[in-house]
Structure 1
Amino acid sequence: MVETLAVVFGVAVLAGGAVVIKYWYWPPDPDDEPREDVAEYISMMVGVLYALVLGLALVTVWDSRSAAEGYVQSEAGAAHQVWLLAEGLPPQQAERLRTGVDTYVHHVVATEWPAMTRGNPLGKRGWELLNQVRAAAEVPADANPAQQVTALEATAQLSKLDDARRGREAAVESGLSPVLWFGLFVGGTLTVAFMFLFGVQRSLTHVVMVMGLSALIAFVVLLIYQLNTPFSGLFAVDATPFTRYFTSR
């Protein structure tokens, strides 16, 4: 981040120095009429580049939120499948497996979800409970062929649950790059500032355009901020997939 800011600042200083040198050694003729085409071109380019930054940031956070929602649905579905597959195992093993799944889901909903909304790490307890579920799903020594197939299917679903949990855990810690946040705020400031410097001449039209552009930029940046945290905010991914399958939780 520091290196990026240093490069950006250095480029800006070099460009400003080039302009100063140009006016120092080749001053403009006072009789020449002022030209606005360069200012309009620069203003247009700033707007286009800022639109690209906005689009990149919005797509990034939207993809992250969609992925987080997919992880949650996949994890809940796999847990539900394991709970159902317990029916085909010996009674004692089935009871252990269902109890383990219920305990894991309760921990996810009651303990991990509040931590996720605050952006805190999940800790190791969930993985310990998942390991207990995996141990309960192992193929028993005296299992018949049907029970062996059921245990293997439960193990496959637990692998799917494991992958989804890892994705959910990564989604809690992910976020928009600081470089993109820098580009959002600096680009927005420059875009609105150029509207003031090189805007249209009629005051009412100028004010309306600046207000509209500022409101639109603020809305998109706030939308990106809300989507940047998948498990909190207005568009938060909730625990509904878990509570739908395990209504008592």
Structure 2
Amino acid sequence: MLVCALAVVAAVATVALAAFVFRKLDHGTDDRDPQGASAGHAGSMLSSLFLLIFAIAIVVPWTSADSARQNTYVETQAAVETYWAAAALPAPDAAQIQEGLRDYVAFVVAKEWPMMASGELSPEGSARLESLRTRVTALPVTSDDARDARADVLSRMGDMFAARRQRAADAHTTPPPGVLILTVVAGLMIVVFPFMAGARPRGITLIPMSAMAALLAVGVYLAWDISRPFTGGLAVRPDAFTAALEEFQRIPGGR
């Protein structure tokens, strides 16, 4: 933050120094015209900078939401593979582990997903998955086939844990610090710039100015609305987990 403040001070000081030096050198002419070179240059640069900042505020959340959506499918694929692997465990352990997987996925959809809008995952979800892994680890196995099946289930559950950690990271994802603030500041500068440059819009000229301000406000709101992957207009829905629950019904039970 200090570096940013120093950069702003240095930039303003550069403008003041340039104005002083060129005045002393008697170079150029005074420019007080709202349509003059100074106002035109500053206006075009402000517009360009606003578009750059606004693009970052939109593209970064869009990319984050798309990545988070893909990661949910990776996580549910790991859950489905674990469910398939659990079917090879001896009875009645296979059915119990599969039931635990169904309960966990249902919990994510019904209870955990609404919490992710605030950027947090439920500690209960992690506890459920840990408890399930502990049960699998403690299963008594007496044959090589059962031992291999247990190892396969644990391996698949490791993928589930990794995907869950990725989902937790996705839930915390936000645009770079200050981008939304800069978007608001740049938008305000665009709105008030004509007045700062000396123009005084009157009558019908206020209509396009008002329309521009309204559209800028909508754009800034949208940038804020999509800032987190699991809430707002681009929110990732639990479609992958719902589909996994449906697929569980088509997978044979344990023997």
Measured in 2, the distance between the counterparts of 1:68 and 1:156 equals 23
**Structure 1 position 228, deviation (Å):** 0.9
Matching residue of 2:80:
80
Distance 1:225 1:206, change over 3 A: same
Is residue 229–residue 235 contact of structure 2 (8 Å, CA) maintained in 1? yes
Is residue 121–residue 169 contact of structure 1 (8 Å, CA) maintained in 2? yes
How is 1:133-212 mapped onto 2 (pairs within 5 angstroms)?
133-138=132-137, 141-145=141-145, 147-197=146-196, 206-212=205-211
Is residue 82–residue 154 contact of structure 1 (8 Å, CA) maintained in 2? yes
Distance 1:20 1:200, change over 3 A: closer
Matching residue of 1:106:
106
Matching residue of 1:62:
62
Distance 1:204 1:161, change over 3 A: farther
Identity between Structure 1 and Structure 2 (%): 24
Match of 2:120, SS state, is coil
**Structure 1 position 183, deviation (Å):** 1.2
Distance 1:204 1:22, change over 3 A: farther
Match of 1:246, SS state, is helix
Amino acid at match of 1:160: D
**Structure 1 position 26, deviation (Å):** 7.2
TM-score (norm 2): 0.78
Measured in 1, the distance between the counterparts of 2:32 and 2:185 equals 32
Is residue 61–residue 175 contact of structure 2 (8 Å, CA) maintained in 1? yes
Amino acid at match of 1:86: A
Distance 1:164 1:204, change over 3 A: farther
Matching residue of 2:245:
246
Is residue 96–residue 136 contact of structure 1 (8 Å, CA) maintained in 2? no
TM-score (norm 1): 0.79
Match of 1:88, SS state, is coil
Amino acid at match of 1:100: G
How is 1:201-240 mapped onto 2 (pairs within 5 angstroms)?
206-240=205-239
Q: Which moved more, 1:33-42 or 1:43-52?
A: 33-42
The one of the two structures with greater contact order (alpha-carbon pairs below 8 A, sep at least 6) is 2
Amino acid at match of 2:62: W
Is residue 40–residue 198 contact of structure 1 (8 Å, CA) maintained in 2? no
Is residue 194–residue 200 contact of structure 2 (8 Å, CA) maintained in 1? no
Distance 1:86 1:211, change over 3 A: same
Is residue 78–residue 160 contact of structure 1 (8 Å, CA) maintained in 2? yes
Match of 2:178, SS state, is helix
Is residue 78–residue 158 contact of structure 1 (8 Å, CA) maintained in 2? yes
Matching residue of 1:126:
125
Deviations 1:25-81, CA, capped at 9 Å, x for gaps: 678999989571122112111111221111112111111111222222222222122
Match of 1:178, SS state, is coil
Distance 1:188 1:128, change over 3 A: same
Deviations 1:127-168, CA, capped at 9 Å, x for gaps: 2221222234448532344x4554444333322211221121
Could you tell me which runs of 5 or more consecutive residues in structure 1 were left unpaired when the two chains were aligned.
none
Matching residue of 1:40:
40
Distance 1:154 1:103, change over 3 A: same
Is residue 89–residue 151 contact of structure 1 (8 Å, CA) maintained in 2? yes
Distance 1:199 1:77, change over 3 A: farther
Could you tell me which runs of 5 or more consecutive residues in structure 2 were left unpaired when the two chains were aligned.
249-255
Measured in 2, the distance between the counterparts of 1:237 and 1:51 equals 26
> Number of matched residues?
245
Distance 1:48 1:17, change over 3 A: same
